[in-house]
Amino acid sequence: MRGCLSVLCCGALRPSEAGDRSTRAFFMEENLQDPNYTILSVPLKELPVTETFLLRSKLMGFSNLGEIVCADLRVVSGLEDYSERWYFELISLLERNGLIHLISR
């Protein structure tokens, strides 16, 4: 499981491609059985996040956490709509759901 996620997160796919194809397929298979990973495919608008986080995520092309954790956060940090507040909210959300390891590399 982790190996497959690592391949997606290495930047082989852009966030929009990951969301449209591989991310959904990956998370809709055996990983949805793990309660911690289920949240990765839930639309951001259904998660307990601020309106600012939703707006910035949408402007950067993300619709769920799976797309975000699969993106190269070094590239994301250079996007116009990125902010440290957005990043800290992402970290907080991942920590609360036991998924912080997905971006701790």
pLDDT digits (tens, 9 = 90+) for 31-79: 545 668 999 999 999 999 999 999 999 999 999 999 999 999 999 999 9
% of the chain residues with pLDDT over 90: 63
Query: In whole angstroms, how far apart are CA 99 and each of 12, 40, 87, 103?
Result: 21, 9, 14, 8
Q: Give the number of domains in the chain.
A: 1
Question: What is the domain range of residue 85?
Answer: 2-102
